[in-house]
Copies of this chain bind each other. A is one copy, B any other.
């Protein structure tokens, strides 16, 4: 089945202890789309500038991604520069040039009206809400957000939360939304704001999915997937978006959405994130094969499963 991602496409400058790259393809929608493309048919709604050459679009097309929804606007593509020191969990932003992304108004091509699944990457919550309302027929909507919107536009965020089925955020964001330092209590509070399931990403410690009572089947407890301890992390940029792409892409590839599917999706999310960090930018996702994904899924299983 098909999935539509709405979000940023960007050029990144990234420096980490392993090296530095400039003007590499980045952005949340890019990482999400590439990761999801190993599981299902992916469509993208985003905006780029006139500096976005065919060679960049080809990276997506080579993975079979439908780029009809990538709008070309006069001006430059969104640019982000950041660096990481020894703590690879935390990016320090060097510069942000929104460029054409500043006035982004998502336009959904009529060809995308029959899309089955939707992912609202991290953009202004009012835009997320507008897209969600327009895509009435989707079976399940996932969403992301960040501290900037949590602090700056809480009312708009609350409306968005009331419209998504699964929210994917990190520990700090969950505690910030709920104004609560205990993680499971924060999770319950976020779930009471709308989502039927909440995925909290713990970086190198994996991720936990919390369910609203009775949502997606029966069960009292949350579920945890590990992250693989990785010796060579070259660049963490895009790990969270790749996680979301693996998670949502796997869900979209299944006939039914139930707890078992969501649990396996959590493992696939971790798998895709673990590949992304092995190389700079989208490099690893570009060279990846489905066989490598399935092999690592088995490694993740063995990492936590008792005989």
Pick the contact of A229: B184, B226, B231 (CB < 8 A).
B184
Task: Encode A222-236 as 1/0 by CB contact (under 8 A) with B.
Answer: 111110011101000
A233 touches B307 (CB 8 A): no
A279 to chain B, nearest CB (A): 16
Stretch at the interface among A125-133, A249-257, A296-304: A296-304
Out of B181, B183, B230, B303, name the residue touching A224 (CB < 8 Å): B303
Stretch at the interface among A40-48, A136-144, A198-206, A284-292: A198-206
Q: Complex: how many Å from CA A208 to CA B304?
A: 9
Interface check A221, CB cutoff 8 A: yes
Oligomeric state, in copies: 2
Q: Which residues of B contact A264 (CB under 8 A)?
A: 306
The smallest C-beta distance from A61 to any residue of chain B, in angstroms, reads 34
Q: Which residues of B contact A204 (CB under 8 A)?
A: 183
Please state if B226 and A184 are interface contacts (CB–CB under 8 Å).
no
Interface string of A189-214 (1 = CB under 8 A from B): 00000000000001011101010000
- Contact residues in B for A229 (Cβ distance below 8 Å): 183-184, 187, 208, 210, 222
Contact bitstring A168-191, B, C-beta under 8 A = 1, else 0: 000000000000011111011000
Contact of A263 with B306 in the complex, beta carbons under 8 Å: yes
* A227 CB, nearest partner CB in chain B, Å: 9
Residue of B nearest to A210 (CB): B229
Tell me the minimal C-beta distance from A176 to chain B in angstroms.
Answer: 13
On whether the beta carbons of A307 and B260 are closer than 8 Å, the reply is yes
State whether A226 touches B182 (Cβ < 8 A).
no
Interface size of A by Cβ–Cβ distance < 8 Å?
Answer: 37
Cβ–Cβ contact A304 & B181, under 8 A = no
Query: What's the Cα separation between A188 and B233 when bound, in Å?
Result: 16
Q: Given contacts A87-B181, A206-B205, are A304 and B304 in contact (CB under 8 A)?
A: yes
Nearest neighbor of A86 in chain B, beta-carbon distance: B181
> A187: which B residues are within 8 A, CB to CB?
229
A182: contacting residue among B182, B210, B225, B233, CB under 8 A: B233
Among A226, A267, A304, chain B packs the most CB atoms within 10 A around the CB of: A304
A226 and B304 in contact, given A183-B204, A205-B205 (Cβ under 8 angstroms): yes
Cross-chain pairs A/B with CB under 8 angstroms, 16 sampled: A182-B231, A182-B233, A183-B204, A184-B229, A184-B231, A185-B231, A187-B229, A188-B231, A223-B302, A223-B303, A224-B226, A225-B304, A260-B307, A263-B306, A301-B306, A305-B306
